[in-house]
């Protein structure tokens, strides 16, 4: 008996070129979705703000670790926003927005086999990779600060004094450069990968390569988008994390609209919606 024919690979989706101002429109659409979803969206921001406050309380006296943990948040953020993408997707298709949608979105991985091409396990594997990258950055950041800082860094004041404002070394510049070296390829790999995996039956490699193609086709718009994300997250951090209650859902919903504007997925089979 001859073996069954191998499944044909999913076609690569077309990548669109968007104007430089497109990220501002995505933010406006993200704000619109936040208003439509209300408390369900805000709950995501509140949960992350609460986690940040708990992390601060635990690691406040070890700011060398806290600095890496907060900056590593940007690495795993695309995974944490998965249910925000699902809500924006439901709005787009006229679906029902509710707690059941969130539950089904986070538990859908149980409905497919681990090695199934294009199954929900792709989201889980991608999330684990981002979590591993985030953990690696936290440990690298902590090692860099503790080994090279001229004095112990145990508080935000110590970080500002011995790392940011130090004139006799380039530790802060090295810390930023190392973070950029890690963040740039992760951003390029994840800019549309998670929404694509949620929306369409695509494998992980296809989603990551599509993200890279998006960045290469839209360098200006992607640079502005990355800058806006960093600025908004910094605003959230600077308000004792309370600003994250709004910033996180707006960015999550906006990321869905970025994906929809940047990628033409009409040739890929749609993944069944949880709603």
Mean pLDDT of 94-113: 71
pLDDT for residue 119: 55
Q: Is the alpha carbon torsion for 111, 116, 122, 124 positive or negative?
A: positive
Confidence of residue 115 (pLDDT cuts 50, 70, 90): very low
Residues in the chain: 275
Q: Quick one: angle between helices 204-217 and 219-238, nearest 10?
A: 100
Most confident of 2-6, 116-120, 130-134, 201-205: 201-205
pLDDT for residue 215: 95
Confidence of residue 272 (pLDDT cuts 50, 70, 90): confident
pLDDT for residue 205: 87
More confident residue, 38 or 170: 38
Mean pLDDT of 52-64: 69
Mean pLDDT of 120-148: 73
**What's the chain look like in SS3?**
CCCCCCCCCCCCCEECCCCCCHHHHHHHHHHHHHHHHCHHHHHHHHHHHHHHHHHHHHHCCCHHHHHHHHHHHHHHHHHHCHHHHHHHHHHHCCCCCCHHHHHHHHHHHHHCCCCCCCCCHHHHHHHHHHHHHHHHHHHHHHHHHHHHCCCCCCCHHHHHHHHHCCCCCCHHHHHHHHHHHHHHHHHHHHCCHHHHHHHECCCHHHHHHHHHHHHHHCHHHHHHHHHHHHHHHHHHHHCCCCCHHHHHHHHHHHHHHHHHHHEECCCCCECCCCC
Tell me the backbone φ, ψ of residue 38, rounded to 5 degrees: 60, -125
Tens digits of residue pLDDT in 160-189 = 777 777 777 777 788 778 777 777 888 888
Tens digits of residue pLDDT in 202-245 = 888 898 999 999 999 999 999 999 999 989 988 988 888 889 89
Confidence of residue 137 (pLDDT cuts 50, 70, 90): confident
Q: What is the overall mean pLDDT for the chain?
A: 80
pLDDT for residue 110: 45
**9-89-23 Cα angle (round to 5):** 90
Does 76 score more than 80 pLDDT?
no
Confidence of residue 196 (pLDDT cuts 50, 70, 90): very high
Does 275 score more than 70 pLDDT?
no
């Amino acid at each position: 008996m001859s073996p069954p024919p191998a499944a044909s690979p999913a076609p690569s989706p077309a990548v669109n070129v968007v104007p430089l101002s497109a990220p501002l429109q995505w933010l406006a659409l993200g704000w619109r979705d936040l208003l439509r979803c209300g408390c369900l969206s805000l709950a995501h921001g509140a949960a992350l703000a609460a986690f940040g406050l708990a992390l601060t309380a635990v690691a406040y006296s070890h700011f060398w670790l806290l600095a890496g943990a907060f900056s590593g948040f940007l690495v795993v953020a695309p995974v944490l926003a998965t249910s925000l993408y699902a809500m924006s997707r439901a709005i787009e298709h006229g679906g029902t927005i509710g707690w059941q949608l969130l539950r089904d979105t986070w538990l859908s991985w149980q409905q497919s086999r681990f090695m199934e091409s294009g199954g929900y396990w792709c989201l889980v594997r991608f999330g684990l990779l981002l979590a591993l990258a985030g953990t690696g950055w936290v440990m690298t950041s902590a090692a860099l600060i503790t080994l090279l800082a001229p004095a112990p860094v145990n508080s935000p004041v110590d970080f500002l004094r011995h790392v940011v404002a130090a004139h006799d070394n380039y530790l802060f510049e090295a810390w930023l450069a190392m973070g950029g070296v890690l963040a740039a390829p992760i951003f390029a790999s994840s800019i549309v990968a998670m929404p694509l995996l949620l929306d369409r039956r695509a494998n992980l490699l296809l989603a990551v390569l599509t993200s890279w193609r998006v960045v290469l086709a839209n360098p200006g718009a992607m640079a502005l988008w990355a800058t806006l994300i960093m600025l908004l997250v910094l605003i959230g951090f600077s308000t004792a994390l309370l600003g994250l209650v709004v910033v996180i859902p707006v960015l999550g919903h906006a990321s869905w609209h970025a994906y929809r504007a940047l990628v033409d997925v009409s040739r890929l089979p749609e993944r069944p919606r949880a709603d």
